[in-house]
């Protein structure tokens, strides 16, 4: 596996981008000057050599891939692990050499971008990355992404996270045996350490009051949405009680028979990174197809989960929004994906090759009731 470097920003992931200017004199300190977004983005001579952001070329229908990659690489811990992962030779199998590089190793390096002409990367982008290797790997590993049809960004996100974790797990064991890698803890990969949380599924028998529970792991949460609601309200609905009765009765081991029961699901272990997927595509039986729900669902820039279990550790954990995958269009199989990313304290829109600034006050335009698009997957990072 060749070492992967961050393709969409040119600053090292370990370097923290300052949000305020460090001033030396007391007079200057009183001013509390905030750095402009453009400070550090342009070099001293006004050229674009100092820019950090990169566009990604669209190969006809790959906006779903581009938006998810931009969101993942906007996550500093994820980017740091990918950049720091050691170089290793490709695995040797009884069937011979692998047909191509694994997914993690096929992400494009910074040396790949090109610019100029229609690929000038907007007003902020330093250049445009051509993700040919990663797309070849994706299509080789999953036939669902081989055609020219539009794909679902959330399904792609889930596949990428699971695939990278699957690839890294045996490599972690190999590197640990040689003492050359200590990036994973508790027997988990860096993907699991960052994204994995757990749900507890509680079922209470209404006859004997016995409660049974079963834990499930997740890398992202998918929640139903309703009109005139909010993300917080939808999370409460996710953990609302459900009655199991009539044909859906619960088999109680204590009662040794089917009984009416109350079921609910809550978050037991909170992840460090929380991708929150809004179920905007719903199957309409009368039409025989999926349609898009243009419901207005405000998503906050800061979030505390309201549906944690009683034994959850740090249930009041604060999350901060750092990226939003937005769907533009009328249905799941057509339209366009873009990604809103928080960079250097300001929000930018990554629309394939173009990277443009947007005002934080305009994020409401992506709540779902504007033609500019609807928030589809929100990415939150724990403030701690």
- Please identify every residue annotated as catalytic: 63, 336
Is residue 71 within 8 A of residue 377, CB to CB? The reply is yes
Task: Show the beta-strand stretches assigned E in 50-130.
Answer: 55-56, 128-129
Rounded CA gap, 338 and 332, in Å? Answer: 14
Rounded CA gap, 140 and 132, in Å? Answer: 12
Rounded CA gap, 274 and 75, in Å? Answer: 11
| CA-based max dimension of the chain | 79
- Burial call 98-131: b when 16+ CB within 10 Å, e when fewer: eeebbbbbbbbeeebbeeeeebebbebbbbbbbb
Is residue 355 within 8 A of residue 344, CB to CB? The reply is no
Q: How many helices (H) and strands (E) does the chain have?
A: 7, 18
User: Phi and psi dihedrals of 227, rounded to 5?
Assistant: -70, 145
Closest to 54 (Cα-Cα) out of 39, 38, 73: 73
What kind and span of H or E run contains 216? strand 211-218
Q: Half-sphere exposure of 170 toward its Cβ, with a 13 Å CA cutoff?
A: 9
């Amino acid at each position: 596996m060749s070492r992967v470097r961050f393709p969409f920003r040119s600053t090292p992931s370990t370097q923290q981008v300052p949000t305020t200017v460090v001033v030396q004199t007391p007079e200057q300190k009183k001013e509390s000057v905030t750095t402009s977004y453009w400070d550090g983005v342009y070099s001293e001579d006004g050229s674009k050599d100092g820019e950090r952001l990169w566009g990604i070329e669209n190969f006809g229908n790959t906006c779903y891939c581009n938006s998810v990659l931009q969101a993942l690489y906007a996550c500093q811990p994820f980017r740091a692990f990918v950049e720091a992962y050691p170089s290793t030779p490709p695995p040797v199998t009884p069937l011979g050499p692998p047909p191509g590089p694994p997914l993690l190793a096929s992400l494009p390096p910074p040396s790949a971008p090109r610019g100029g002409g229609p690929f000038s990367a907007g007003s902020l982008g330093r250049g445009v990355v051509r993700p040919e290797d990663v797309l070849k790997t994706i299509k080789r590993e999953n036939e669902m992404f081989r055609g020219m049809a539009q794909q679902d960004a959330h399904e792609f996100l889930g596949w990428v996270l699971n695939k990278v974790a699957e690839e890294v797990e045996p490599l972690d064991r190999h590197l640990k045996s040689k003492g050359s890698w200590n990036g994973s803890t508790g027997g988990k990969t860096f993907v699991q350490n960052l994204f994995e949380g757990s749900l507890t599924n509680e079922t209470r028998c209404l006859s004997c009051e016995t409660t049974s529970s079963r834990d499930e792991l997740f890398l992202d949460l998918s929640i139903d949405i309703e009109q005139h609601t909010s993300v917080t309200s939808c999370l409460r609905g996710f953990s609302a009680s459900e009655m199991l009765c009539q044909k859906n009765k619960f088999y109680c081991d204590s009662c040794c028979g089917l009984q009416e029961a109350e079921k609910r699901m809550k978050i037991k272990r909170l992840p460090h990174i929380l991708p929150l997927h809004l179920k905007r595509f719903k199957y309409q039986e009368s039409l025989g197809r999926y349609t898009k729900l243009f419901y207005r669902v405000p998503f906050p820039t800061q979030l505390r989960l309201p549906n944690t279990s009683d034994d959850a550790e740090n249930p009041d954990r604060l999350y901060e929004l750092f990226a939003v995958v937005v769907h533009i269009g009328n249905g799941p199989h057509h339209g366009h994906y873009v990604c809103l990313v928080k960079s250097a304290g300001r929000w930018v829109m990554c629309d394939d090759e173009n990277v443009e600034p947007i005002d934080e006050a305009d994020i409401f335009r992506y709540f779902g009731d504007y033609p500019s698009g609807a928030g589809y997957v929100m990415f939150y990072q724990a403030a701690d």
